[in-house]
Every structure is written in structure tokens, then in C-alpha cells.
Amino acid sequence: MYLKKIELHGFKSFADKSVIEFQPGITGIVGPNGCGKSNISDAVRWVLGEQSVKSLRGSNMSDVIFNGSEDRKAQSVAEVTLVFDNEDRFMNFDYNEVEITRRLYRQNNEAEYLINREPCRLKDIIDLIMDTGLGRDSLSIISQGNISSFADSKPEERRGMFEEAAGVAKYKKRKLESIRKLERTKDNLDRVEDICLELEKQIAPLRRQKEKAEVYLELKDQLQSIEVSVLVKEIENLSASLKELNDSLDSLDKEKVTIEGQILLNEQQNETLKKKMYDLDQEVNGLQGQLLTAMNNVNELETQKVEIDTNRKHILENTDKEDLQARIAQMRAILQDAVNEYNDRVNRYKETKEEKLDLEAAQEKNRSEMMALRQNIENLNLQLHNNRNRREQLVDIVENKSGYSYGVRSIMKAKDSLSGIIGVLGDLLESDAQYETALTTALAGAVQFIVTKTDQDAREAIHFLKENKSGRATFLPVEVMKPRSLRDDHLMVCQNFDGYLGVMSDFVRYPQEIESVVLNQLGNIILVDTLKHASALSRATFARYKVVTMDGEVVNIGGSLTGGTNKSQSSNFASKRELEMIKETIVSQEKEINHKKAKLNELDNLAREISHHLLQKQMSFAKLEVVVTNKKSELQVAKSEYESLTHRSVELSEIESGAQDNQLINELNEAKKLRDRLTESIQAKRELRMSFVNENDKLEETLRASRAHLREIQSEMTQKQVNKAKQETELSNYLLRLNDEYKMTYEFAKEEYTQEINMGEAKENVRLLRHKIDSLGNVNLQAIEDYQEVSTRYETLNSQRLDLINAQDSILKAIDEMDEIMISRFGETFEKINKEFNIVFRNLFGGGKAELRYSDPDNILETGIDIDVQPPGKAVQNITLFSGGEKALIAISCLFAILRVRPVPMCILDEVEAALDVANVERFAKYLREFSTQTQFIVVTHREGTMEECDLLYGATMQQKGVTKLVSVKLKDAIDLAGA
């Protein structure tokens, strides 16, 4: 390996791009002082990783950039490239040529490193050249200052050169890295042990709390299993009892109405009977007066009997037949009126009866409609109750983020106290229902990622989670998320493919501010119709994209497939849509219930109106029954009187014909008949009155019994209504308890808890379980999750602690092994160099002796290097007392001794022989020539003896002030030309 060329542009005095080509052997760089020839060695040192500004002869790293001159502007960047021939693979790099480049920009003082024009790190360059002899502490670059300070250096400062020669630099670097890693491991172990100790303090009380919570939950489950069954049974019994009560109340209400109607009719009949008895009393009093008169009349007629014959003719002559006929005609008209009135009352009686029956039918129809409407309202209330419960569940899922991880919930709860939190990605996206399955599959876990404005906002949120031990979350900062999309050629393939629908980001709606996040997560996910087309499209795009079907099947990047069914497939998007739908349903149901309640109120008012009209019709019907009876009696009386007048007409005809001769006798007979008739009428009316009295007594007894029965019914109804209200309250409490305590509807509980139970034993078990639960006191249910989290964390940290201990032991073992290697290699190399040092020293000094010694033989890994030399003819003395030339020659002797033991591929010597005299310069130059077959030398010099041994010379000059130019001369060609 050797250095082929150096390219400089903008580095120190090399304002223009300069290329210096080298060849194996010795290359000399000459020129007057200040012409910039030493800048070449600085450039090599700079590219190979020198970070010390002082070593580069500057005060600031930007000093290496060309600062301008009177005629030239300053450069903005400095760039140096070293090109090495690596055909022998001396560098562990699989290229024939190795280019190492370093750039530095003035504006931001940023540096760039490249290997073969590919960006890399400074560490990569250092690793590449380590143990190749080109390291910072190696012999590859030696200046006059290094030579002069070698003798004056402290023993510890000389050690680096020998370590590089021994090839232990990489082991030392690894050891330092291992030591730093060991320190980090120890720090981590200390932190982990501290945390483990703290967690151990937490685990014991948390375990007790967890066990208590588990007992509580077990008792709660037992209580729920039993108590829900009890509640279901109680609700069933109460519902059945309430149905019986309602049926009984309806029956009692009907019976009450009937009895009230009967009482009203009986009271009316009672009043009618009393009036009839009063009328009969009046009639009997009148008839008694008539009877007295009739008896007196009979007596008078008997005294006048003697005058019968005399008066017979008078009677016959004075009897007016026409008047009798008029009375008969009048009575006939009265009879006809009685018939008409009777028929009218009968017709009204029939009409009233029909109207009463119609009202009773209307009342029954109204009652049926009200029962159906009440049942409908009850069903709607149950549906509304279920929907409200479901709404609460969905609100908990969508708004309270119950389905999200603990970390996401913690961030969203603290959103107002944190800056830049936009929201959860799943909540920020909207999609049509048909694409929700595909979208949920495409996002996968990203549906819970939190979108922030900046990465600083995300870091603050993560710090918040750490400080509060509130779980983990993934953040998507808008400002740093880069949109992703399909390549143009792949997009063209997709667009011409069967089943291709688009990229997933085309099927979502979102705020414009998060567009970069959406495109990053969904911009390169392909949506197709079926799995068959998905597989084909994935193959056509070389399986570089995730392909999702409408049913949620996936062909992943690389070609693997995911599919099947998800037992509890419910996405956040579906929950949001269901929440909106159920809110609309609840509003609609509330409106419908209010409408049906208004209708029920109308039917209730109608029921009262029908009941009122029915009561009136029942009263009218009862009255008409009495009226029809009276009219029938009046008709019979009129008919009787009409028949009587008809009979008298016949009797008069008999008198006129001679059948009745004696008018007095006739009157007597009539008087007697009247007397008898009046006596009979009085007797009949008295008997009729007695029957009315008996009937009235029975009616009053019936009224008393009916009123007592009505009071019993009213009392029973009141008691049943009280029981109904009590049972309704109990039923409501049971339903409310079922809902509030166990979050169940009656229908769900009835379906799930169907076990047969003994109510007495079950209630006793409920009491005992509640007593046990109460005896537990305060229960921390979060302790179960906290214990699991702390326990898992403790186990994880404890495992990490063991891993760290093992890692610590492994690092210590590796350090010991590296120490052994370094001691072995360093010791062997040191002995070889020490042996060669004495030989080279004797050759360069023409005799004498030289020796290298450990300053601390007991600590080979850290010991410094002392130099004991004795030039010819001089006594051993402190090396610092030698002259400058002698120090330089000693340092050069050590250099050549190291090169004998560990040749390096390249060595830059910057005026290292400046302090030597001519004879020593010649010796120095001959040694260079001796080593030039295995080491490439680049010598910055102005000594003739050194120049003579060079194969190639570069002359450095400043034709333009402040700007270095180089001119090359091959000495062999120059000698050939001179000889010609």
C-alpha cells in the first residue's frame, strides 16, 4: 500500500484545486520558508482525523480554510482527499483504491467525512487506518517539532509511538471503550439495583392490596351471581304481582262503577217509591172522604127508595146519551195518548240502552288501546334505556378512550397541560363505512399513535409519561414526518391492475395540518378488492408495499399474508359511527315516547269523558225503566176507565129498553157499588202501599248492602293501589340497582342468570357476602394492575440486573484478555525495538550504545519509556542535556529502529533532519533509501543530502502572494536529460 495522490482545494494556502501525485520510494517537497510546503503534512494529518487545532498550527478549526489574500477572496469550504493504492489489501477494505476525504464548511463549521465518496463517520476512518501505521500517534507523520520534543518528552508521552508499533492501539482503544462500557454498565446496574430496591418496597404492600382486591372481586363475582339472580327473581315476582294487582284493580273498578250505578238507580227507585207512597196516602185520604160520602149517599138513597118508581121515568128522561158518548170519545183519546206516550218511552228506553251499550263498547275499546299504548311506551322505555346504556359504553370508548393503552389515555387526559398535542390518529381520521375494515387493518397499532406538532412536543410528552410512570405511547410529530407514496412506475402498474382501488390515504378525511402524518402512515399502502388480486399485485410490485383488501386481509411487505376473522372486531371508526347513530335513535325514541304519552293522555281524557257519559246514560236508563213502568200503569188505568164508560153506555141502553126500570134502585146499586168499589180501592191502595213499604225496605236494605260493598271495594282498591305503588317502587329500585350496580338490563340479566335458587338461602348468602365485602374496608382495585405492572417491571429489571452483572463480568474478562494480549505484544515489540535501537544508534553515531527502559517495569500497560544513550567518547548523562542535533539524531535512531521492527506503508517527515550536520544528513538519507523499498517516504526538506536521495521532487512556491503552487521533477529524468 502507498499514497498515490493528494487533492487539496481551499485548504490553508492551497486556494486552487491542487493534485500532488506520489509514487513508491522517496518524494521530496522543497521550497523556501513560508511557501506552504508544511501545509501538505498538515493536510494529511487533518484528513486522517486530527482534531487538535494546535497540532494544525491554528487557533480555530476554521483556520484551515483559505482565508484569502490581497488578490483572492476567502474560500467557504476546505476539502482534502487522500488516494491510497490498496491492491495488497493492507487496509481491511475490499477496494484496489481507497479515497479518504474530509470537508469543512466555514458557515456552520460542520465537517463531512467520506470513504470512496460515500459519507461516513470520523470513527469509521480511524477504525480503517488503525494498526496500519497511519494512526495519529504512529510514525506516519513526523515533524521537526516532534523530533526535537522526542528527547524532552516525558516517558509516558513516548509510549504512544511504541504502542502503535506494537499494534496494540486497537486493543487499547477497545479496552478504553470496554472500560467506558463497563462504567456505563456499572451506572446502569446501580440505577437498576436502586429501582429494583424501590420496586421491592412497593411489591409487598401492592401484593397485599392485590390479594385483598382479588378477594373483593371474587366476593363481588359471587355476590353478583347470586344477587343478580335474586334481583331477577324479585323482578319476575313483582312483575307478576303487579300484573295481578292491575287486573284486580281493573276488575274492582268495573265492579265499583256497576255498584255506583246500581246505588244511583236504587236511590232513584227509593225516591220514586216514597213519592208513590205519599201519593197513595193522599189518594187513600181522598177515597176515605169519598167513601164517607158514598155511605151517606147509600143511606139517603135507601130512604128515597120509595120514590124509585116515581123517579125512574125522571132518570130515563134526564139521562144524556150523547154526553156519555162524548166522554167515551174523550176517554178513547186519553187512552190513545197513553198508548203513544208508553210507546215513546219504550223507544227512548231502547235507544238509551243501545247508546249505553255503545258507550260500554267504546270504554272497553279505549281501555284496550290504553293498555296497548302503555305496553308500547314500556317497550320503548326499555329500548331507550338499553340505547342509553350503549351510548354510555360508546362514549367511554370514543371520548374517554377506554379502549386505548394506559399511556395514550394519560396523555389525552393531560392534553391541556401539554403543548402541541393534536390528538390520537384514529380520532383525527374519518372514512366511509365500507372502507373502515380496510383502514383499521392498514393502520393496525398506529390507530393509537398520538399526533403532535413538533418532535419537541413529543419529547415533552414522553418525559411526562416517564416522570408520572404513566405507560408508553408512540408519537407522530407533524414537522418531521415525511410523506410516503408509490414509485411512479409501480403506480402505473397498479393503475392498470385488476382490483386496484387506490392508496389508503385517498379513502380518509382528515385536517389539513396532519397531511404529512396521514401520507406517512397510509400514502404507500395499496387498497384492492380481493386477496387474490392483492397477492398478484404484491408480486407485480416485488412485494415492496403493504396491500390491504376491503375485508381486512393483508399481503405484507416481503409477501407474507395475514387474514381470517377477528372474534371481537370493533374499530374506533365503527364505534364513532355507531355512537352518532345511537344518539339519533335516542332522540327519535324520546320524541316517539313523548308523542305516545301525549296520545295516552288524550285517551285518558277520552276515557274520563266516556265514563262520564256512560254514567249519565246508566242514570238515564234507570230513570227510563221507572218511567216506562209508570207509563204502562197509566195506560192500564186509562184502558180500565175506557172499558168502564163503555160498560155504562151498554147499561143505559138496557134502561132505555126496559131492562132497568128503577133509577133510584140503580143509583142505590151504583152508590153501593161505588161504596164497595171505594172500599175495595182503599183496601187495594193500602195493600199497594204496604207492598211499596216492603219494597222500599228491601231497597233500603239493598242500598245499605251496596254502599257497604262499595266501601269495601274502595278500601280494597286503596289498599291495592298502596301495594301497587309500593311494589312499583320496589321494582324501580331493583331495576335501578341492577343497572347502577351491575350495569345490566333486566332482559340481559334474565337471559344470563337463569339458575334456580332458593330465595331464602340466596338472600342470606347475599347478606353474608356483603358483610364480608364491608369487612374488607377500602379496596384498591387498581392494585391488581399496579402489582402486575410493578411485578413485571421488577422481573424485567431483575433480569436486566442479572444480564448487566453477566455483562460486567464478560467485560472484565475481555479487559483481562486484552491486557494479556497488550502486555505480550507490547513486551515483544519493545524488546525488538530496543535491540534494533542500539544497532541503529551505533550506526548513526559511529559507536556508543543506547537502550530503552520501562519507567515502571511493574506496570507494563501504563509504563513510560526512558531512553539511556551513550554516544562515543561521552559518559552517560541525562538525555535532555544533549545538543539539538544529538537529540534529533537520537529520535531518528529510535524512528529507524521502530521501522526495522514494524515497517509502515507511508511516512511523512517534515524537516526532521534540519538540526543535523552534513555528515549526519547523509547517514540519514542513506537510511531512508534503505527503508524506501518497504516504506513510502514523503520528505519536506531543504537539505541537499536528503534531496539527492529523492526519486521525485516537488517544488513549492508562491507566485501569487498567499497561494501555494507546486512543480514536480523526477530526478532520474532530470539526470538523463543532463547527461544527454
Most confident of 159-163, 198-202, 397-401, 468-472: 198-202
Calpha distance 474→376 (Å, rounded)? 50
Q: How many CB atoms lie within 10 A of CB 867?
A: 20
* 530 and 469 belong to one structural domain: yes
Calpha distance 602→124 (Å, rounded)? 92
Cα–Cα distances in angstroms (integers) from residue 576 to residues 432, 446, 580, 913, 948, in the given order: 12, 17, 6, 86, 90
Are 93 and 86 in contact by the 8 Å Cβ rule? The answer is yes
Are 162 and 833 in contact by the 8 Å Cβ rule? The answer is yes
Q: Which helix (H) or strand (E) holds 8?
A: strand 2-9
Most confident of 251-260, 731-740, 806-815: 806-815
The amino acid that residue 340 corresponds to is: N
Q: Which of 516, 588, 555, 552 lies closest to 435, judged by CA?
A: 552
Are 724 and 245 in contact by the 8 Å Cβ rule? The answer is yes
Find the DSSP H helices in 122-168: 122-129, 144-152, 155-166
Residue 57 pLDDT more than 60? yes
| pLDDT recorded at residue 102 | 92
Cross-strand partners of 6: 20, 82
Interval 425-453: pLDDT, tens: 888 888 888 888 888 888 887 888 999 99
* 200 and 126 belong to one structural domain: no
Backbone angles phi, psi at 480, to 5 degrees: -110, -10
Residue 88 domain flag: yes
Instruction: Using a pLDDT cut of 90, give the percent of the chain over it.
Output: 6
Core vs surface per residue 318-349: b (16+ CB within 10 A) or e: eeeeeebeebbeebeebbeebeebbeebeeeb
Assigned C-alpha cell, 4: 498515490
Calpha distance 104→108 (Å, rounded)? 9
The set of residues, in sequence order, having a beta carbon less than 8 Å from that of 521 and lying 6+ positions away, is 425, 443, 446, 449, 476
| pLDDT recorded at residue 911 | 83
Find the DSSP H helices in 69-154: 122-129, 144-152
Mean pLDDT of the region 689-709? 83
Residue 75 domain flag: yes
Residue 155 domain flag: no
Q: Which helix (H) or strand (E) holds 77?
A: strand 77-85
β-pair type (111-115, 97-105): antiparallel
> pTM for this one?
0.42
Calpha distance 436→107 (Å, rounded)? 51
* 72 and 203 belong to one structural domain: no
138: DSSP letter: S
Residue 658 pLDDT more than 50? no
Find the DSSP H helices in 846-948: 884-901, 918-931, 944-948
Read off the pLDDT band of 131 (50, 70, 90): low
CATH number at residue 495: 3.30.70.1620
Are 784 and 791 in contact by the 8 Å Cβ rule? The answer is no
**Residue where a domain stops, chosen among 517, 539, 568:** 568
The amino acid that residue 230 corresponds to is: V
Angle between helices 884-901 and 155-166 (to 10 degrees): 30
696 in a known ligand binding site: no
Are 234 and 716 in contact by the 8 Å Cβ rule? The answer is no
Read off the pLDDT band of 400 (50, 70, 90): low
For cell 219494597, what's the residue? 695
* 24 and 119 belong to one structural domain: yes
The amino acid that residue 553 corresponds to is: E
483: DSSP letter: P
569: DSSP letter: -
Are 766 and 230 in contact by the 8 Å Cβ rule? The answer is yes
Are 53 and 59 in contact by the 8 Å Cβ rule? The answer is yes
Most confident of 342-351, 466-475, 521-530: 521-530
Measured in whole angstroms, the distance separating CA 726 from the mean position of its chain's CA atoms is 43
Read off the pLDDT band of 313 (50, 70, 90): very low
Residue 827 domain flag: no
For cell 477497545, what's the residue? 174
Residue 673 pLDDT more than 70? no
Calpha distance 468→481 (Å, rounded)? 27
Residue 311 pLDDT more than 50? no
* 13 and 130 belong to one structural domain: yes
The set of residues, in sequence order, having a beta carbon less than 8 Å from that of 711 and lying 6+ positions away, is none
Mean pLDDT of the region 910-921? 83
Calpha distance 18→35 (Å, rounded)? 14
Calpha distance 806→192 (Å, rounded)? 14
559: DSSP letter: S
Are 16 and 941 in contact by the 8 Å Cβ rule? The answer is no
Residue 738 domain flag: no
Is the Cα dihedral 457, 461, 462, 463 positive or negative?
A: positive
470: DSSP letter: -
Calpha distance 363→834 (Å, rounded)? 130
* 198 and 52 belong to one structural domain: no
266 in a known ligand binding site: no
Q: Which of 942, 943, 889, 936 lies closest to 908, judged by CA?
A: 936
DSSP, collapsed to helix, strand or coil, labels residue 139 as coil
* 563 and 489 belong to one structural domain: yes
* 74 and 188 belong to one structural domain: no
Calpha distance 676→315 (Å, rounded)? 23
Mean pLDDT of the region 238-260? 82
Mean pLDDT of the chain: 80
Most confident of 136-140, 476-480, 857-861: 476-480
Q: Which of 471, 473, 438, 469 lies closest to 459, judged by CA?
A: 473
35 in a known ligand binding site: yes
950 in a known ligand binding site: no
Residue 54 domain flag: yes
**Residue where a domain stops, chosen among 818, 844, 866:** 818
Cross-strand partners of 966: 956
Interval 449-505: pLDDT, tens: 999 999 899 998 888 888 777 778 899 999 988 999 888 888 888 988 888 999 998
Low-confidence winner among 159-168, 170-179, 653-662, 878-887 (lowest mean pLDDT)? 653-662
Give the E-state strand segments of 245-298 in sequence order. Answer: none
Is the Cα dihedral 527, 529, 532, 536 positive or negative?
A: negative
Mean pLDDT of the region 244-256? 82
* 454 and 544 belong to one structural domain: yes
73 in a known ligand binding site: no
Mean pLDDT of the region 123-130? 83
Backbone angles phi, psi at 60, to 5 degrees: -145, 145
The amino acid that residue 644 corresponds to is: S
**Residue where a domain stops, chosen among 547, 568, 589:** 568
CATH number at residue 972: 3.40.50.300
Residue 552 pLDDT more than 50? yes
Mean pLDDT of the region 508-531? 91
Interval 881-909: pLDDT, tens: 777 778 888 888 888 888 788 788 888 88
Residue 121 domain flag: yes
Read off the pLDDT band of 82 (50, 70, 90): very high
| pLDDT recorded at residue 662 | 46
Residue 514 domain flag: yes
Look at the chain and report how many structural domains it folds into.
3
Domain ranges, residue 795: 178-211+781-818
* 112 and 14 belong to one structural domain: yes
* 562 and 474 belong to one structural domain: yes
32 in a known ligand binding site: yes
Q: What is the dihedral of CA 517, 523, 525, 528, to 10 degrees?
A: 130
| pLDDT recorded at residue 79 | 93
The set of residues, in sequence order, having a beta carbon less than 8 Å from that of 950 and lying 6+ positions away, is 26, 27, 28, 939, 971
* 536 and 433 belong to one structural domain: yes
Read off the pLDDT band of 308 (50, 70, 90): very low
Calpha distance 465→473 (Å, rounded)? 8
Mean pLDDT of the region 501-524? 91
